[in-house]
Amino acid sequence: MKKVTNDIFYVGVNDHQIDLFEGQYDVPNGMAYNSYVVMDDQITVFDTVDQHFGQEWLTNIKEVLGDRQPDYLIVQHMEPDHSANIDLFAETYPDAKIVGNAKTFTYIQQFFGKDYADRRLVVKSGETLTTGSHTFTFVFAPMVHWPEVMLTYDSTDKVLFSADAFGKFGALDVEEDWACEARRYYIGIVGMYGAQVQKLLKQAAGLDIQIICPLHGPILTENLGYYLDLYHTWSSYGVESEGTMIAYTSVYGHTKAAVDLLAEKLKEAGCPKVVVNDLAREDMAECVEDAFRYGKIILATTTYNGDIFPFMREFIADLTERKFQNRKIGFVENGTWAPTAAKVMKAAFEKSKNISFAEPVVTIKSAMNDENVGQIEALAKEMA
């Protein structure tokens, strides 16, 4: 049993069985599915957990409640890693009300084939629920990152129950850097919804928040400005760290040789940080994370079937899908008889906002020559 405040208890679970979160994100340190109980005249439970941990979760709740029964289950987010046990909860505690917004109950009907019409409490943004000494205000956050998402502010303990916001990959029984896995989580899952996150941050600025209780990752109790500032940077597509990220693919090593030289020249030119990612061998989500972290990126790849190498195509698609913007991009292309990779890559960003392209474009025909070395030196100076 973990106490958050005198009245608030953590009843979530750790998942070390999972290998891919949402079927695509590698999670070597597992995941946490967070749930909370607020003890008061009336007892409130916040969210459920993944389907595989329903009984463990109920045991955690029972440990806190003892002989008492919960009065409310507040459903902030209907993604199954948080909602899968709504029906189990409803069967276990038949007198408890299910609290959500109109879209919440639409999705409950879709997932469970029922809408709990006889025991549901439908709330609107800004409405409150008082359970005794605690008053909860519901703050709707549509598309952060599903349409029904809402956060809940407890004005008594000054706690923001933040749904998926301020979450991260990784179970809670593993020590790791928050920012690294929170950044990868945010960019991968919430990245395209920056405008919606900005709106939420403006709403949060008007609240006296002392504790943040997310649905993934640790409860945040200290230096909250650090986390809020990072979320502002990420959601406004700002530059978090000065430096240049190089993303490349290479078939026979010639493009890689050019990238290695370019990295050296960037450092010689005074670039504060150079990060090099082999898109074929490194975790794609980590590569995407780095592209959003740094202010400048260089894309290096071969011409492939009149297009670009598949891993580079996937990488750029991941960037543009998440509204990649406010960046400077350099290009290195390779092609033995018809190099067109730079043209293809540049066109992929035609709908992206505030993107500038560096000159010169480094064009390699098969293997580097002296002219290419000069181009690489010039590009390094331009980017640094």
Which tens digits make up the pLDDT trace of 220-277? Answer: 999 999 999 999 999 999 999 999 999 999 999 999 999 999 999 999 999 999 999 9
Listed residue (327, 323, 383) closest to 355, CA to CA: 327
Give the confidence band of 347 by pLDDT, cuts at 50, 70, 90: very high
**Cα angle, residue 342 at apex, residues 336 and 348 outer, rounded to 5°:** 135
Residue ranges of the alpha helices (H) in the chain? Answer: 54-65, 80-83, 86-92, 102-112, 178-185, 194-204, 224-235, 254-268, 284-293, 310-321, 341-348, 370-383
Mean pLDDT along residues 176-186: 95
What pLDDT is stored for residue 330 in this prediction?
98
Mean pLDDT along residues 293-304: 96
What pLDDT is stored for residue 24 in this prediction?
94
What pLDDT is stored for residue 216 in this prediction?
97
Give the confidence band of 20 by pLDDT, cuts at 50, 70, 90: very high
What pLDDT is stored for residue 187 in this prediction?
96
- pLDDT tens digits, one per residue of 63-84: 999 999 999 999 999 999 999 9
Give the confidence band of 296 by pLDDT, cuts at 50, 70, 90: very high
Mean pLDDT along residues 10-32: 96
Which pair of tokens denotes residue 87?
Answer: 């029906």
What pLDDT is stored for residue 309 in this prediction?
96
Inform me whether the pLDDT recorded for 1 exceeds 90. no
Give the confidence band of 372 by pLDDT, cuts at 50, 70, 90: very high
Give the confidence band of 62 by pLDDT, cuts at 50, 70, 90: very high
Neighbours of 110 (CB within 10 A): 10
Which pair of tokens denotes residue 209?
Answer: 């928040």
Mean pLDDT along residues 94-117: 96
Mean pLDDT along residues 334-361: 96
Q: Could you tell me the domains of the chain? A: 2-235 (3.60.15.10), 243-383 (3.40.50.360)
Q: What percent of the chain has pLDDT over 90?
A: 99
69: phi then psi, degrees, rounded to nearest 5? -120, 145
d(CA 28, CA 170): 8
Q: Which residues pair with 211 in a beta bridge?
A: 159
Please, what is the average pLDDT of the chain? 96
Neighbours of 206 (CB within 10 A): 9
